[in-house]
Structure 1
Amino acid sequence: MTVQGVRVLYRDRWLLAVDKPSGLLSQPGLGPDQADSLISRVQAHDQAPDWRLVHRLDRDTSGVLVLAAGLEALRRTSALFSNRCVNKLYLAHVHGVLAGRGCIHNRLARLQRQPPRYGSHPEGREASTLWRVRSSAAEVTQLWLRPITGRSHQLRSHLAEIAHPIIGDPIYGDPIDGDQAAESPFSQRLRLHAIALSFCHPFTGQRLRLLSADPWSRR
């Protein structure tokens, strides 16, 4: 099932999980050229439940995104995120070769506004990310990422700070140029994907595991 080109992963009377494509805003930005967004499409398609975003993904990040129907569902589900009761798993391709696993921890703050850029700052909010290597080849490493906190740009900033920026990131790394894109097995986009979310349903108590397919797997 799809909603205006967005694939539905799960739906009940309280929650809706969708597979957000890369390049689509989670919510409208400023100006008519940024009016198209995931929440706008969902609300235009189905106005009966009052669908609201529980969390957000950057425009160029793809994967699992959760919406709630009404204020009570939003309150309960948002509390799971703020209390760190939601397990999040991302898949990323980064520049360079990493081995094993590790944890990135710092205090993260916005360092500039346009474009928004975040980095280490003594007055920032604590941010932690666990990482583990899935595979590596040809100066590219594929990582499993598990953010413990949920700060803006956390994964992108953290990986840039350890000198392994995510491929295709125009803010924290170098976007792929034409020659590199021709040689790359990947599409020309940010290589960050929210592949899974897991939490206990705020109304039924059922354990939910919401999965999105790996967009870079060979078919």
Structure 2
Amino acid sequence: MENKLKVEITGEHDDKRVINYLKFELKMSSRLTRKLLSGGFVTLNGHPARGKDVLKQGDILEVHLDTGDTQNIEPEDIPVDVVYEDQDLLIVNKPPFMVVHPTKSYPSGTLANAVMNYFKNTGQNCIVRLVSRLDRDTTGLVTIAKSQFAHQAMAKKMEGNEIDKYYITVVEGRMEGEGTIDLPIDRPSMDSIKRMVMEGGQRAITHYKVLKSSDEMSCLLIRLETGKTHQIRVHLSHLGHPIVGDSLYGRESSYISRQALHAYKLRFNCIRSGEKIEVEAEIPDDMKRLIELIEK
């Protein structure tokens, strides 16, 4: 399955050089543009294109996005719950207790191993380019880009706050209404895993709305405006309402064997068409049982 961009040049772009079209119309970085042109991955009317070539109305410009990149991640026969897929993106629903990417402690059995196997089985010559990551015990939506072009495009959307990211979580204690937490986050020391609300840290903004609450627990819908490491966990713990089961920022729970946090919904515009995309990942059973315990 070949992954490419094919564009018919309109009069608006008459006399524009290929390199400038790639940079300013397709919004590719200088580094990616050089890589594509020098590698022969750009053709103009079926012939290899040079950066200085001048476009004319009716020309056909093709950019071949499969640049033959490799990655040292072994495909493993692990089921993948695909929620959304197009030419550029794969969005999957990550189960609990699964690490996203191989590490020294978790060299195999990761989501990346599973996705590599999925790409292999579906005939897609892609590597795993993670647009987003989740903690091992957090469930829900993880976005993988199928090319450097797609990864770059999604990174720009994230920087421009053009991706709406929603989470469902259950916290300790009663919370009511809705609000915004706008507090900076940083690590108290370079070797600390734990983050804290700290003066001089990176700005972090979390919006929340209480869906259901009791004296013991509250279920919240979260929208992230920024995406700092452990942001939701740090902010809610700072408010005195740590996530149920979060042993790092709160305490373990007899109700659930992990932190009750689920990456629930994503909204963004399609990279190529601009069409609005909205995807959801079903709330996992352990969190459903937890939410049912909250008094109405």
Do the two structures share a fold, i.e. TM-score over 0.5?
Answer: yes
* Structure 1 residues 2-45: Cα deviation after superposition (integer angstroms, max 9, x where no partner): x82221001111110000111111111224x4433111221133
- Percent of counterpart pairs with the same letter? 30
Q: Partner of 2:271 in structure 1? A: 202
Q: Is the 8 A contact 2:243 2:260 kept in 1?
A: yes
Please tell me the root mean square deviation across aligned C-alpha atoms, in Å. 1.8
The alpha-carbon deviation at position 107 of structure 1 amounts to: 1.1
Q: In the superposition, relative to structure 1, how do residues 75 and 16 fare at CA in structure 2: closer, same or farther (>3 Å)?
A: same
The alpha-carbon deviation at position 50 of structure 1 amounts to: 2.7
Q: Residue 42 of structure 1: which of 102, 106, 115 is its match?
A: 115
* Structure 1 residues 53-99: Cα deviation after superposition (integer angstroms, max 9, x where no partner): 11111111100111010100110011111211000110000000011
- Give yes or no for the alignment of 1:25 onto 2:102: no
SS in 1 for 2:152: helix
* Structure 1 residues 136-169: Cα deviation after superposition (integer angstroms, max 9, x where no partner): 1251000011111000000000000000000011
Q: Is the 8 A contact 1:115 1:171 kept in 2?
A: no
Q: Residue 171 of structure 2: which of 89, 94, 103 is its match?
A: 94
Q: Partner of 1:10 in structure 2? A: 84
Q: Residue 152 of structure 1: which of 201, 226, 229 is its match?
A: 229
Task: Measure, in 2, the Cα distance between the counterparts of 1:122 and 1:115.
Answer: 17
The code of the aligned residue for 2:141 comes to V
Task: Measure, in 1, the Cα distance between the counterparts of 2:147 and 2:167.
Answer: 27
SS in 1 for 2:277: strand
Q: Is the 8 A contact 1:112 1:118 kept in 2?
A: no
Q: Partner of 2:74 in structure 1? A: none
Q: Partner of 1:106 in structure 2? A: 183
Q: How many residue pairs were aligned?
A: 208
Task: Measure, in 1, the Cα distance between the counterparts of 2:159 and 2:113.
Answer: 24
Q: Is the 8 A contact 1:106 1:128 kept in 2?
A: yes
- Give yes or no for the alignment of 1:85 onto 2:166: no
**TM-score (norm. length: structure 1):** 0.89
The code of the aligned residue for 1:58 comes to D
The code of the aligned residue for 1:10 comes to Y
Task: Measure, in 1, the Cα distance between the counterparts of 2:266 and 2:248.
Answer: 26
The code of the aligned residue for 1:91 comes to I
Structure number having the greater strand percentage: 1
Q: Partner of 1:173 in structure 2? A: 250
- Give yes or no for the alignment of 1:217 onto 2:288: yes
Q: Partner of 1:130 in structure 2? A: 207
Matches within 5 A, 1:46-65: 46-47=119-120, 48-65=125-142
Unaligned runs of 5+ in 2: 1-76
Q: Which has the larger radius of gyration?
A: 2
Q: Is the 8 A contact 2:78 2:109 kept in 1?
A: no
Task: Measure, in 2, the Cα distance between the counterparts of 1:6 and 1:115.
Answer: 32
The code of the aligned residue for 1:199 comes to F
Task: Measure, in 2, the Cα distance between the counterparts of 1:50 and 1:131.
Answer: 35
Q: Is the 8 A contact 1:104 1:129 kept in 2?
A: yes
* Structure 1 residues 158-206: Cα deviation after superposition (integer angstroms, max 9, x where no partner): 0000000000111000011xxxx2xx3xx32210001100000111211
- Give yes or no for the alignment of 1:141 onto 2:214: no
SS in 1 for 2:272: coil
Q: Which is bigger in relative contact order (C-alpha 8 A, separation at least 6)?
A: 1
Task: Measure, in 1, the Cα distance between the counterparts of 2:201 and 2:192.
Answer: 18
Q: Partner of 2:49 in structure 1? A: none
Q: Is the 8 A contact 2:129 2:147 kept in 1?
A: yes
Unaligned runs of 5+ in 1: none
